[in-house]
Structure 1
Amino acid sequence: MAIKHLRTAFASQYQPGQPARLQAGDPLQEPGGDYEMLHKQMKRLFNSKPGKKYGRFSEDIGEHPFSAWLKDYMEEKQSFASLTDRLFGQFKELLDSAQEEFSGHLMLVHEALADGEVAYLLVLESDSAMRFDSNQALDATDVLSLSRLNLALRIELDDWLGDNGSDNHLTLVHGRGTGEGGDLFIRLCGFTNQVDVEKETMTFLDAVEAFAKSAEPEKAGEVRAKAYEFCKEQHALGEPVEIGALSGYLDESQPERFREFASQNAEVPESGVLHPDHRKVKKLVRIAGSGGGMSLSFSSDLVNQAVYYDRDRDALTITRLPKALREQLQRYLEGRDGE
């Protein structure tokens, strides 16, 4: 089984100014079954979340002791039960001082995979559901949400504790609208030094675009498309983009060519790893814009083939219209002619 240890606790603060409530479950070792299925679904949600942040543990252990407790557990200086007792206790203390209502199931998972060990700290939310009880009376109940995940942290344990520890061993999901509860979760995690995703996205786009322009004209579109596909696949896996791996994907016959080009022509980090926003990377293969009552989107491969831009007149000419669009235009014009 992938899960080595797992434990949950329900935490709630319904009356700000009063002590919060926290009810912890038993620590579970290799729980398997339904727990594996639940965790698998949470990982799907985690990986698919846009706008993730990347960083490391704060060095202020006094204010953020979670990393020290986790390290003691990994070094077998304390049990998983002791680690989670401390973690849940600190979360309750944070909620005691909260000024906003909060409720959720805090779940810590230690997972062993073929390529390394990972820990997840997640806040599971609930949905309201209706059911008929044993007397056939309608009753409202709460069930775990399998479609929402707004607060979560992934810890790459090997990257963090290895000999060549990475500065970006944490990946954070911090959804909009989480309010004070979200801020307290970040304090609990001790997350800091986030990566500038916007800057790394531009670095990625600039490097790929420059490389595509340096290629033969007929292969430029293929370079952009393959770079986008690689980035999209990495996003689905919840992984960043390694320039070396991308280089081999772009040109199997010369696997170092793009890596060398990027190192000379772009501000690639020494780690050779970038965290581009896959939504913005789509600009490599699509051109889109909206405004003034108009919205357009088309493949970049169509420029100067079915879409022509006249810079002097700031005019766009589109040929080979999609059938559905052509039919809509014809019906609209026929209706106007009949007025």
Structure 2
Amino acid sequence: MSLELNNIILHSLVMGNEGQLVCRTRDQELPVNNSVNHLVEELQSSYQSKAGKGFGFFSNEEDHNGEFSRLLQQVVSDETSFVEFSQSAAHLLANEVSKYEFAEEGVLLLAKYTWVASDYLLLVMLANKDTVMVTDELDISSSRHLDLSKAQLAARIDLTQWQREPESNRYISYVKGRVGRKVADFFLDFMGCQPGLDAKQQNVGLMKAVDEFCQTQALPETETKEYRETVFNYCAEQLSQGEEVELKTLAEVLPEQQNEASFYDFVSQDYELEERFPVDRSTIRKLTKYVGSGGGLSISFDQKHLGERVVYDELTDTLTITGLPPNLREQLKRK
């Protein structure tokens, strides 16, 4: 699905002569051309596919962290230009980052675009990377380019949802960042964003509801596995298309029970699930797999193999695996 790019601009955060972080801003938007479009589409695709994103909303605009949302409202209402908004936002970010000892240089990209009938604002902190290349004349030349692979500081605001559902707790999404350097430390603070919807918790709740529904219906083991696989396939398909879990739609694709029990009615009772929520890849795979790691050992196998190719002995805490994967077998033989 292609996007329609409306505005894009870059600002840089660099270290000044006195070791202070300085914000250098552009005075004009970047021209929208094929190269720029390709860049934003690549960032959008990369952002969409990132697992474990967090979701939130703007905190009370009366507090000291409401400046960003006020500026954003002005540009959405055409009270100010995108350039002026982006410059003010860049200075806000520089001031926030300067509070931390690990302040680093980087390029702040702000892009406003339309995708799947919604307007979005994407904010990404990008790092410059120096590379060495061989020219056509076989000379060595150095160049600097944006390292898109390390875009770990990023957030996206669903402007359409924000305007239509200001009470929502999930119109802002963000990459949680690397361990030990959480994006919430400064990137969310600069936007005045409060953590909201917990997508992982929603997915865990869905898994619990599926298991307990199968138990209440006294489904045989084979039917329970099929039920879990149907849920997994639906969630995986939604994830691949950039869509979310919709409980009513999910209930419609599940097999009907003889007593006409409704999964939607069941899950709506005590599980406190949203009508729709993002898919968490690491959680839903547990619907069809047993996964575990620790102490230098990682194990993953389809649940259907338990009791057949894989046997667990609780007394000795051991797994017996019959029929190793060929690539693992060859590695073991070489040793």
| Shorter-normalised TM range | 0.7 to 0.9
Aligned to 2:309: 306
TM-score, with length taken from structure 1: 0.81
Q: TM-score, length-normalised on structure 2? A: 0.82
**1:16-55 to 2 correspondences below 5 Å:** 18=20, 20-24=22-26, 26-28=28-30, 31-55=32-56
Higher mean Cα deviation, 277-286 or 222-231? Answer: 222-231
Q: Please give the residue correspondences for 1:143-222 in structure 2 after superposition, counting only pairs within 5 Å.
A: 143-162=145-164, 165-176=167-178, 179=181, 183-213=185-215, 214=217, 215=219, 217-222=221-226
What secondary structure is seen at the aligned counterpart in 2 of 1:244? Answer: helix
SS of alignment partner, residue 229 of structure 1: helix
Shift of 1:164: 6.8
Letter paired with 1:225: E
Partners in 2 of 1:257 and 1:180 — Cα distance? 41
Q: 1:130 to 1:303 in 2, by over 3 A?
A: same
Deviation at 1:152? 0.8
1:279 is aligned to 282
Distance (Å, rounded) in 2 between the aligned partners of 1:323 and 1:88 = 53
* Cα offset, 1:55, TM superposition: 0.8
Q: Is the 8 A contact 1:151 1:175 kept in 2?
A: yes
Q: Does the 8 Å CA contact 1:16/1:101 hold for their aligned counterparts?
A: no
SS in 2 for 1:296: strand
Residues 1-339 of structure 1 correspond to what in structure 2 (within 5 A)?
2-13=4-15, 18=20, 20-24=22-26, 26-28=28-30, 31-61=32-62, 62-95=64-97, 97-132=99-134, 138-162=140-164, 165-176=167-178, 179=181, 183-213=185-215, 214=217, 215=219, 217-251=221-255, 257-268=262-273, 271-275=274-278, 277-290=280-293, 295-311=298-314, 314=317, 316-323=319-326, 331=333
> Structure 1 residue 248: deviation in Å?
2.9
* Structure 2: runs of 5 or more not aligned: none
Which stretch has the larger CA shift, 9-18 or 63-72?
Answer: 9-18
Structure 1 residues 158 and 327: CA distance shift in structure 2, 3 A:
closer
Deviates more, 1:94-103 or 1:45-54: 94-103
Give the superposed CA RMSD: 3.5
Conserved 8 A contact 2:55-2:169? no
* 8 Å contact kept, 2:121–2:158: yes
1:272 corresponds to which letter in structure 2?
E
Asked if the contact 1:106/1:121 (under 8 Å) is kept, the reply is yes
Query: Is the partner of 2:175 in helix, strand or coil?
Result: strand
Instruction: Show CA shifts across 1:157-212 (max 9, x none).
Output: 12111057422111011312684987332222221133334533321220122234
The 3 A distance-change label for structure 1 pair 164 and 175 is closer
C-alpha distance in 2, partners of 1:288/1:221? 16
